């Protein structure tokens, strides 16, 4: 640690949806932030308001190449996280997860930094256990269209635990469930941004399958709180730990709630279900509750109202 309680913290993928909120929160705590992003899915818009802060530094860099910096902690968030983006260049997606993890773990080993890996509920695949506890090994197709992301993240977890066992590295692994909020990429194809934008534009709202598949939606502020609490735990807490909201909703319920909030005239239309799309997704969060004292606080309607306000402003600026 540098001086007092101030830490120099590296956040890869720091200009992304989650990364920008994490940068903001840690800056508010008084830390120095090195934000690294290659801007494949991240945006300068997300961090523009932070650039004048003397404790914030932005570096354009791809984590598939080594990085030589001096830091106290590392949050490894770099990787496209929506199907549209991670399927655009699936080989690069796997490289980002696997080689990126190797490079960040190597950096953490060299500078003796604590390191957190942003993993995903996608490691559970199309689950046969519901809700999904951390002990569940998953039901994943290793050769499908989503595998570049699912298996890349699974391999990254393997690397983290091997570095922990072999090199005694201080690691934290968090499995993120569906997260939403301001600064979501408008064209990422994710269900919340898709439905909100279609509703605001008065377009038909596209549901896949019959809309009965379920997701659990966690507001971004709650998720970031979970990240920081996990990073602040002692070496005995490694994870993996599920961070997500256990409130389960069908996609059709989500669409109807968005229509209600926006007073949209949009109609629901149905399309075939994409391959390997999970039927249900719900986190079992007793470990987060016990180890971190964490549970989500923002209800879906409240979080959607904030998210809709963000996208209304975005559409007005890009009209």
- What residues are labeled active site? 149
**Strands annotated E in the chain:** 8-12, 32-37, 56-60, 73-76, 114-120, 171-176, 179-180, 205-208, 214-216, 218-219, 241-243, 248-250, 268-271
Q: Is residue 240 reached through a cis peptide bond, with omega within 30 degrees of 0 on the bond before it? A: yes
Query: CA–CA separation, 238 vs 230, rounded Å?
Result: 8
Distance CA 85, CA 201 (A): 23
Distances, alpha carbon 204 to alpha carbons 6, 222, 277, in Å: 49, 30, 21
**3 state SS of 98:** helix
List beta partners, residue 265.
none
User: How far is it, in rounded angstroms, from Cα 285 to Cα 289?
Assistant: 6
CA separation for the pair 312, 172 (Å, rounded): 36
């Amino acid at each position: 640690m540098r001086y007092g309680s101030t830490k120099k913290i590296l956040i890869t993928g720091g200009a992304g949806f989650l990364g920008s909120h994490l940068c903001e929160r840690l800056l508010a705590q008084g830390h120095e932030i090195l934000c690294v992003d290659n801007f494949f899915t991240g945006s300068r818009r997300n961090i523009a308001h932070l650039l004048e802060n003397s404790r914030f530094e932005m570096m354009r860099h791809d984590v598939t190449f080594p990085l030589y910096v001096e830091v106290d902690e590392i949050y490894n968030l770099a990787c496209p996280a929506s199907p549209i983006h991670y399927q655009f260049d699936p080989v690069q997606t796997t490289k980002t997860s696997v080689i990126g993890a190797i490079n960040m773990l190597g950096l953490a080993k060299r500078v003796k930094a604590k390191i957190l890996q942003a993993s995903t509920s996608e490691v559970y695949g199309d689950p046969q256990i519901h809700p999904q506890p951390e002990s569940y090994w998953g039901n994943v197709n290793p050769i499908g269209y989503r595998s570049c992301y699912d298996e890349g993240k699974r391999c990254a977890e393997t690397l983290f635990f091997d570095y922990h066992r072999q090199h005694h590295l201080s690691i934290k692994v968090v499995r993120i469930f569906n997260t939403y909020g301001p600064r979501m990429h408008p064209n990422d194809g994710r269900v919340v941004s898709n439905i909100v934008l279609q509703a605001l534009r008065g377009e038909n709202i596209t549901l896949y399958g019959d809309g009965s598949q379920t997701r659990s939606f966690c507001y971004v502020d709650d998720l970031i709180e979970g990240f920081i609490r996990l990073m602040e735990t002692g070496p005995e807490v490694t994870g993996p730990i599920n961070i997500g909201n256990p409130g389960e909703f069908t996609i059709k319920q989500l669409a109807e709630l968005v229509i209600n909030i926006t007073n949209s005239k949009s109609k629901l239309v149905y399309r075939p279900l994409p391959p390997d799309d999970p039927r249900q997704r719900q986190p079992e969060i007793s470990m987060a509750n016990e180890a971190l004292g964490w549970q989500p606080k923002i209800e879906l309607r409240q979080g959607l109202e904030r998210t809709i306000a963000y996208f209304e402003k975005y559409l007005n600026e890009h009209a």
